[in-house]
Structures are given as C-alpha cells and as structure tokens.
Structure 1
Amino acid sequence: MEELEPNKKYISWPVLALMDFVTVIGFDDLAYNFQSQGMGVITSWVIMLFLYVIPYSLMVGQLGSTFNKEGGGLTSWIRGTNGEFLGYFTAWTYWAASIPYVVDTANSLVVGLGWTFNGNASLQNHMSNGWFAFWTLVVFVVFIFTQSRFKHSLEVLSTIGGVAIFGLTVLFVFMTFAGLAMGGHIATQPFTIHTIIPKFNLHYLTTLGLLIYAMNGAELIAPFVTKMRHPNKEFPKAMIMLAAMTAFLTIFGSFSLGVFFNAYHLPKDLKMNGAYYAFQALGNQYHLGNTLLYIYALAEVFYLAALLAVLLDAMTRMLISDTGNRYMPQVLKKTNSVGLPVNGYLLTCGLSAFIMSLGIFLPSMNDIFNWLLNLNGIISPGVTCWVFFAFIKIRQDSEKYPSDYVFIKNDKTALTVGWWCLIVTAVATIFGIGPQDVVFASSTWWYELIINFVSIIVLVGLGLILPYVTRREERSTNGSAFTRLQWTGILAAIFLTIVGDLYLGGSHLTYNIHGIVALSVVGILLVILFGWKEHNLKVD
C-alpha cells in the first residue's frame, strides 16, 4: 500500500488535466492546421490523439516520476540516462527551439495590434518586410526591459490571458453550433465524408510537424505527477480527460472553421489572420459587428504581451542555469547589479534578430509569418524526440530506473510504443523542412528550404560551439575566450549581416540571395581580419 504524507498538499487528477489542457491547444493552433490540411485535419486530430498524444503524455508521466528528485525536467531525464554532455545539449536544443517560438510570438503581437487598432487585416498591405522586422525588434527590446520590472505580475497575466483565449475558443464552438441550429449554413460545400479525409501525400507529411507542435508540451506537467495521491491510478485518468477535452476542441473547432471558411478555397493569410477573420464572421452572423473581433483581439494582445515578456526572461535564465558549468561560457552567465543575465538577453535578441532577418527576404509579410510558424513545426518536434529517447533508455533498463507510475508494465511493449512515437516525430521533423505554403520548386520554395537548413544549423550548431568557447575561457590568460579585438570583429560581422539584411528586406528575392551571400562573406572576412589566432591563451 502507498504511504501518504499527512501534511503534503496533493493535486487532483481533474486539476492536472485542466492545467495541461490550457497549455496544449489554442484557437491559433486550429487555424494554422486548418489551412495546412483543410477539414481533413479533423481525421488527423483523431489519429494523433489516440496514436500519439495519449502515449506521449503517459510516457512523460513515468519520466517525471522516475526523476522526481531532480525536478522532472527534460534536461534531467537525458542527463540521468545519457550523461552530462547530452544533458547540456538537450537543454541547449530545448532553448534554441524557443527562439523561433518567441519570434513568432512577437510577430503575432504586431499582427494583433494591427487588428486592435484597424479592425481589419490592412496592416499587411501597408507594412513592408523591413518595417515588420523593425517593429518586431522594438517589441523585443521593450519587453526585455518590461519583464525585469513586472516579472511576477506578467506570469499571472499570461496565465489569465491563456485561460481567456481558451474560453473564447470554447465560446466560438458553441456559438457556431447555435448559429447552425438557428438556420446557419456551412461554407464548405460539397460537405461529404471525403471532406474530412486528408490526402496522404508528400504535402501531408510536411504538415505533420505543425500538428505535433500544436499538441506537444506535455513534459511541462511532469513535475506534478509526484504531487498526486495515487499516480498509478490518477495520472492515466488525467490524461484520458485531457484527450477527451482536446478531442472535443480540435474536432468541433476545426468543423466550426469549416462553417465560416470554404475548406476548398481558403484565404492565403489564414494562418496569420484566421482567428480574427473567424471572430469577425461569428460577430456578423449574430449581428454584433466587430464586437467579438475586438474582444478576441484585445485578449490575444494582452496574452501575447505578457507571454512574450515571461518567455524572454524564463528561456534566458533556463539557458544559463540548466546547461552545466562545464559547457556554458562565463560570459553568458554574467549578470548585472540587479541579477539580470544581460549577455544572455543579448544572445536571445541576437539570434531572434538573425532568424527574423532571414525571413524578410520573403515576398510578403504573410510569407514571413507562415515561414516562422512552419519553422516551429520543424524545430519543436525535433526537440520532442528527446522525450521518447529518454523513455526508451529507462525502459531498456527498467530495474535501474524505478518509478511510482509505470506506463505499460511489459518492457517490450513499452519500448515498441516508445520507438513508434520517436519514429513518427523524427519523420515529421525531417519532412517538415520542406516548405508548405508556397508553390513547389518556385524561387520562394527554394529560398525557404535554404533558410530552413540555415536556421537549424545555426541554432543547433551554436550549441556545439559553446563548449569550445568555454574551453578557451579556461585556457585564457585574461579570463576571456577572445581578445577585445576578436570580439569586435565577431560582433561587427553579426551586426553588419543583420542590419544589411534589414536594409535589403523587401527587394527582389534573387537580389536578396546575392546580398546575403555577399554580407556573409564580408562577415567571415571581418572575423578573420580581426584575428582568430590564440595569442591570449596559455601555452599547454
């Protein structure tokens, strides 16, 4: 019999399910995947829920229970099964995956402000790519300062905003069905059983990553598994409740979108503006004008602003505190007089600016938004692979890794399910690299393919370079990995590339490609000219 601590506060399984539910699915996730697959996404949601999301969540439960003394985080799972370096690299990739997400959040905030002030999608018609990038960077700077002063308030506000967005999503579904009951019509015609069956082709494979991106994040609730009275009985109940609620929202939410949008002829900017279009259409159906639109836009801006500030702080602090002292340079851990990791913030902003600068070469603001979103559909599932990798490791030697909660007692069966989820996620990651929302083999398609690889190489590759920088610091005569002259060359190269990209943004694509190649060459030459030699290192 399990022993219970009399003074310990336990969490009930319905509360755990609700906590996870609010963080898993939002209205934007429905719109993103609706444009990718049309109403066929309904079948995809069902398949993903039962063959992927439920086992994924239950695996997370066992991992959280196994490593409960280390906080239950993804990094500790990998560190506990595969050693310190892989633990560091997992932490780095988890952090790197948040860069496109935080850029996408900033972009969404700019779009949301446009809807709040204009009441329509006219922002994309008047704002150039360069200005879109500029205002995104301004948003970064503003919220870097904001979070340092109102951190705890913003954590509460982001939670309230998330609940508000979720509530509006549920309201949208109920009001849509109420409208149909009162004689409303479905825009998607003809509507047959074939309408909700996706086309299983190459395009479908490229959209799987975005589905996983919409539904991952279950590892965030792992630490709470050990706070339940009876994890073996209650955690599966929480995950079943989560699956039921997610099924309701994704299936009926996607159908509701098909009521207002013809799934056979969707707007090209549905990923960027679909949620706003939907509430605008719902308001018109009920003769409320733009009232529902403005309510949603304000809630979205409110939520995104608070979320962005919290993300910028949390992701930077996680990077410098949970990646291992042996591999993280001291220069990134440096804090100012009030304890803020200033150089960590600079790295976050610099990489975010770099990712944004790649996107401004695309033809339009809508293309930038779609590309950044799809980039999340590559990198986020790639990081989720670590979860299944850790689960496989603990089930290969289950006696070494005991747990209060066990997902599938038979090790061979558990390993089969673990490998299934890992393979599906890896396939989705690989095929997600193929551009989605542009004409196949067009110049824009090839450019997006190139910058997808560039983004992955830079974000992941930098994590492999930092241990080298750390070793240079340790061997340095002055405590710095590089001399001031070398740092000047490196920073000048980065600055030149980003500013040059912003200047070129919006020009012809071919000219932009030539420009970025030229700027990159000049940047490399700057680094070489300013000196990469090891004259400030101790002689071994």
Structure 2
Amino acid sequence: MGEMDNLSAMNSKHYISWPVLALMCFVTVIGFDDLIYNFKNQGMGVITSWILMLFLYVIPYSLMVGQLGSIFNHEGGGLSSWIRGTNGEFLGYFTAWTYWAASIPYVVDTANSIVVGIGWAVTGNSKFQDSISNSEFALWTLLTFAVFILVQSRFKRSLELLSTIGGIAMFGMTVLFVIMSLSSLAMGGHIATQPMNLGAIVPKFDLKYLTTVGLLIYAVNGCELIAPFVTKMKKPQTDFPKSMITLAAMTAFLTIFGSFSLGIFFDAHHLPNDLKMNGSYYAFQALGQQYHVGNLFMYLFAWTEVFYLVALLAVLLDAMTRMLISDTGERYMPHFLRKTNADGLPVNGYLLTCVLSGFILLLGIFLPDMNDIFNWLLNLNGIISPGVTCWIFYAFMRVRRNSIKYPSSYVFIKNDKLAWLVGFWAFAVTAIATIFGIAPQDVKEFSSVWWYELIINIVAITILIGLGAILPSITRREDQYGQAFSKAQWIVMISVVVVAIVLGVFLGGTSLTYRGWLIAIEALIALMIIWLISRRHPQKNKIR
C-alpha cells in the first residue's frame, strides 16, 4: 500500500515541460529595445553578431546555468549560492552585492525609460523630452523611484503578475513588428538601408566593435533566473537542452529578422542620434505610416512599454533589496541595512537604493542633453551587467574542476576538461567585453564628453563595488560596539558627501573633463573617509 502511495505521489507531481521552460526563459532574455540598442551600435552588421553570439555564447551559457541550477537546487539556485557553494561565504556575499549593485544602473535606466515612454504615450512625439532640462529629467526619475517604492509595498503580488503579462505583451509587439515589417515588402515597401547585400551585414571588427560587445551580452543575459526550474523537469538531462535549443531558435528569429526589419525603416548608414532613446517609437511610427494607420502602432507600443516598465520597476526595487539583505546573512551585511519595519519592509535598504540611484543620476546630470544621459546609463549597464555575469562562468569552472564533489541531475558536456575550457571561453569573452565596455560610446572619441563619460564610468563602478568591500568592516563594528557609527561620525560623513556634491555642482567649472576629475577625486575621498571611520570605534559601550 505504501509503495502504491509513493507511486501515486510521483505520478501526481507537477513537472515543467521543456516548451514552457523555453518560453519562460525567452521572456527574460531579449526584448525589442535590445534590438534597437545594438542596431544603433553596429547597424546591419549586428545580424552577424547575433548569429555568433547565439552559437558561441548564448547556448553554452544557458546550458552551464542549467547544471549550476541543478547542483545548488537546495538553495534555490541563485547566483550567490553558486559562488558560496564553490568559494565560501565571503565571495558568496560579494557576489550578492555585485549582483545588486549591477541592478542600480538598470533600475535608473528603467525609470528613465518610463519618463520617456510616458512622454510618447501622452504627446505622441518626443517634444516632452525636448522641453525639459537635465535636472528636470533627473527630478522626474527620482520622483518615479519614490512613487514606486511606496506602490510596490502595497501591490507587490499584483505588479509581479502585471510585469509578467506586460513582458509577454512586449514580446508580442516585437513579433508583430517583425512580421508586419517583412509583410510590408510584399506590399510594395522599400528597404531604407542600401545596398542590402552580404557586405552590409558583416561588421567591422575593430576597437569600436569591442566596446559594443558588452551591450550584446547585456541583451542576452538573464538565463540564471530560470536555473531553479531545472530540477522541476521530469527528464532534465534531455529536456533542458531541448528548452535551450528552442530558446536559441526563438532568439535567433527575433534578433536576426528583427534587425533586418529595422533596416527596412532606418538607413543603417545614417541612423538618428537619439535612436537608443526613441528608436522603438520611431520604428512603430514608421510601421503605422507604412500601413496607413497613423500613430496607432506607436501608441499601442508606448502604452505597452509604460505598462510593462511600471510593473517591472516596482518589482525590481523590492526584489533586489530583499535579495541583498536576505541572501548575505548576518556575517557581512550591517544590521541597519537588514532592519525592517512593522510591515517587514527593509526601509534602510530602500533608502540606500535611492541614494545610490541619485548618485548615478548626479554623475550624468552634467552631460550635454537628455539623450546623452540616456545613452550613458544604458552603456553603463553594458559594463556592469556583463561583469557580474563573469561570476556564473567562474562558478561553473570551479564545479568542473571537482565534478565528483558536485553531483547533478543534468550535466553539460560529460568531459570535465572540455567543459572547463568552454567555461573559460565564456568567462574570457565576458571579461574582455566588460573591460572594453568602459570606453564611452555614442560620443566623439577623445572629446571632452568622451573623457567625462570615461571618468564617471570608472567612478560609478568604483563606488558601487567599493561600498560592498567596506560593508563587512561596518558589520564588525556593530558586532563589537553595538552601532555602526556615532552621531559625530554620521555628521562628518554626511557633511563630506554634501560638500562633495556642492563642489561638483557649483565649483566644477565649465570644462566637462575638469568637472569629471573633480567628481572622481571627491568620490574617492568620500569613500576613503567612510573606510577610515569604519576602522575606528564609535564609543566603548554597546547599544544593542
């Protein structure tokens, strides 16, 4: 009887089928905006880049994620648990921190995109962007943060559902664009990019090309989000590869034909300067004109974009903060950041998110115009996000060094040495793309704006990662003295930050390069003072 019960339980267990897992992953990997961003960087040559990325990067990357998720399924299959399981607690904490830090530019970019999307959805054009200053743009973005930190605490579950629905709707709009663009050629439409031949889709492999690879990786990463579901498949060893091959096929269709479709409406040799910020709306506007329906498709896309991004931002602000304070334990994360209110909300974690987001916005506020701010933030994601992805391949290499210690229901490449080499290949490509991505894009090389963006790229990375290195010492202070900082020490640190901001805003001079160096020096001094203070006790008696 007991055996019959066990058999019934096994038969009634719910498994995820490989087509469903492929669709789940597809929604997290690629979107219409990703096509626009990389089309702007590489023109029609991005078609070749997409093909190379899919076969040499996306497929092995997703299959490696599958094995890691299978090995560490007892911890939910999160990235930090993979590093913790292969390299110990501290690197596990630091991975969680860098993963969170990489989310800061992403949520700022998402908030910016909401402001841009609302402008298009309401006015039907880009006049709203042209009518506001950089400081007003930053203010609207900060207000967006404040509103959605309040909203997500009350409607979190509803917004998770809405973001999923919105994501699927966004992919539906992308597929619609591709199909209707190709159909327009049969109706007598013309291709704007000329000549359209084999030479047009071959990129120029030079230094500039290397600086754009990071944004390609940023576009296709995200497979690690589906890692926990590997163990919920009935036959992971055979079904998971099917899911990833299906994912690659769908991604190939969307990226290759999507980029070709963009070449129908945009001359790849003479692209608008604001294509990254407004290209999605221009594309659907052009599609509507082709089918003689005016701005119908553009409005449909604009409201879909706003609907999706609004829900996504609210969920991101909550999920990234909760993940940071819950996945790092008490050993390295300060108590004041883990502190929650009566509703269980990590209020100080939210505050840190807002402060660092405001800091990122402040770095970009001195750029010439709103389009430069948008492009810089996007390209910053193309640096930090691939950098964090390196942890995945590092964990995989560690696992395959000692595969007996890490048994798995799914194994990517049976031969350990070959598997390690594939992991090293992916790690090296991602690391190189991260390093070259630090060089600014979308601006004239070695101009004052180029130098300023290079400096603030380095400053943003240093501050975001540097704080993660300082926090464990602050935690030790709490354990030893009962509080992070005394009242006097808080006053000193806040004063240093305020003075740095005032100097940067009012005394920076007119030269962007000079202002950039001033911001860099101020940021490093502020970080150094926080580090030095964290090494001195606030008072002898314990408070908690």
Q: TM-score, normalised by structure 2?
A: 0.94
Deviation at 1:339, TM superposition (A): 1.1
Partner of 2:324: 319
Partner of 1:38: 43
- 1:463-502 to 2 correspondences below 5 Å: 463-476=468-481, 479-498=482-501
Partner of 1:183: 188
Letter matched to residue 479 of structure 2: E
- 1:512-523 to 2 correspondences below 5 Å: 512-513=515-516, 516=519
> Is 1:246 equivalent to 2:274 in the alignment?
no
Partner of 1:136: 141
State whether residues 25 and 215 of structure 1, in contact with CA within 8 Å, keep that contact through their aligned partners in structure 2: yes
Give distance in 1, aligned partners of 2:172 and 2:36. 16
Decide which of 527, 535, 539 is 1:536's aligned counterpart. 539
Give distance in 2, aligned partners of 1:3 and 1:448. 62
Partner of 1:211: 216
State whether residues 455 and 516 of structure 2, in contact with CA within 8 Å, keep that contact through their aligned partners in structure 1: no
State whether residues 489 and 530 of structure 1, in contact with CA within 8 Å, keep that contact through their aligned partners in structure 2: no
State whether residues 130 and 505 of structure 1, in contact with CA within 8 Å, keep that contact through their aligned partners in structure 2: no
Deviation at 1:5, TM superposition (A): 2.5
Give distance in 2, aligned partners of 1:529 and 1:251. 52
Letter matched to residue 296 of structure 1: F
> Is 1:164 equivalent to 2:150 in the alignment?
no
Partner of 1:296: 301
| Closer, same or farther: CA 3–272 of 1 in aligned 2, 3 Å | farther
State how many pairs are aligned.
536
State whether residues 485 and 530 of structure 1, in contact with CA within 8 Å, keep that contact through their aligned partners in structure 2: no
- 1:336-375 to 2 correspondences below 5 Å: 336-375=341-380
Give distance in 2, aligned partners of 1:64 and 1:3. 27
Partner of 1:53: 58
| Closer, same or farther: CA 235–349 of 1 in aligned 2, 3 Å | same
Give distance in 1, aligned partners of 2:502 and 2:59. 45
Give distance in 2, aligned partners of 1:444 and 1:171. 38
> Is 1:72 equivalent to 2:77 in the alignment?
yes
Partner of 2:4: none
Give distance in 1, aligned partners of 2:254 and 2:307. 22
Give distance in 1, aligned partners of 2:369 and 2:156. 34
> Is 1:201 equivalent to 2:211 in the alignment?
no
> Is 1:308 equivalent to 2:313 in the alignment?
yes
SS at match of 1:439: coil
CA deviations on 1:465-492 (whole Å, 9 max, x unpaired) are: 000100111111xx21110121123234
Partner of 2:230: 225
Deviation at 1:109, TM superposition (A): 0.5
Letter matched to residue 10 of structure 2: E
State whether residues 470 and 531 of structure 2, in contact with CA within 8 Å, keep that contact through their aligned partners in structure 1: no
State whether residues 358 and 451 of structure 1, in contact with CA within 8 Å, keep that contact through their aligned partners in structure 2: yes
Structure 2 runs not aligned, ≥5 long: 1-6
State whether residues 84 and 324 of structure 1, in contact with CA within 8 Å, keep that contact through their aligned partners in structure 2: no
Deviation at 1:338, TM superposition (A): 1.2
State whether residues 188 and 259 of structure 1, in contact with CA within 8 Å, keep that contact through their aligned partners in structure 2: yes
CA deviations on 1:430-484 (whole Å, 9 max, x unpaired) are: 10001111111111111111111101111111100000100111111xx211101
Give distance in 1, aligned partners of 2:523 and 2:269. 42
Partner of 1:448: 453
CA deviations on 1:347-400 (whole Å, 9 max, x unpaired) are: 000011001100111111101100100000000000000100010011011111
CA deviations on 1:185-230 (whole Å, 9 max, x unpaired) are: 0000111111000000000000000000000010100000000000
Decide which of 381, 390, 394 is 1:389's aligned counterpart. 394
CA deviations on 1:128-179 (whole Å, 9 max, x unpaired) are: 1111111111101011101011111111111111111110000000000110
Partner of 1:414: 419
Comparing 498-507 with 390-399, greater Cα deviation is found at: 498-507
Comparing 514-523 with 413-422, greater Cα deviation is found at: 514-523
Comparing 530-539 with 51-60, greater Cα deviation is found at: 530-539
Give distance in 2, aligned partners of 1:505 and 1:181. 57
Partner of 1:509: 512
Q: TM-score, normalised by structure 1?
A: 0.95
Letter matched to residue 494 of structure 2: L
State whether residues 501 and 516 of structure 1, in contact with CA within 8 Å, keep that contact through their aligned partners in structure 2: yes
SS at match of 1:10: coil
Deviation at 1:505, TM superposition (A): 10
| Closer, same or farther: CA 29–538 of 1 in aligned 2, 3 Å | same
Deviation at 1:525, TM superposition (A): 11
Give distance in 2, aligned partners of 1:4 and 1:250. 42
SS at match of 1:325: helix
Give distance in 1, aligned partners of 2:306 and 2:492. 39
Letter matched to residue 348 of structure 1: T
State whether residues 361 and 505 of structure 1, in contact with CA within 8 Å, keep that contact through their aligned partners in structure 2: no
Decide which of 457, 464, 467 is 1:462's aligned counterpart. 467
| Closer, same or farther: CA 518–219 of 1 in aligned 2, 3 Å | closer
- 1:265-304 to 2 correspondences below 5 Å: 265-304=270-309
State whether residues 333 and 472 of structure 2, in contact with CA within 8 Å, keep that contact through their aligned partners in structure 1: yes
SS at match of 2:403: coil
Deviation at 1:510, TM superposition (A): 5.1
Partner of 1:107: 112
Give distance in 2, aligned partners of 1:303 and 1:241. 25
CA deviations on 1:86-128 (whole Å, 9 max, x unpaired) are: 1000000001000000000000011101111211112332211
Give distance in 2, aligned partners of 1:249 and 1:528. 47
Give distance in 2, aligned partners of 1:226 and 1:300. 33
SS at match of 1:361: coil
Give distance in 2, aligned partners of 1:529 and 1:60. 39
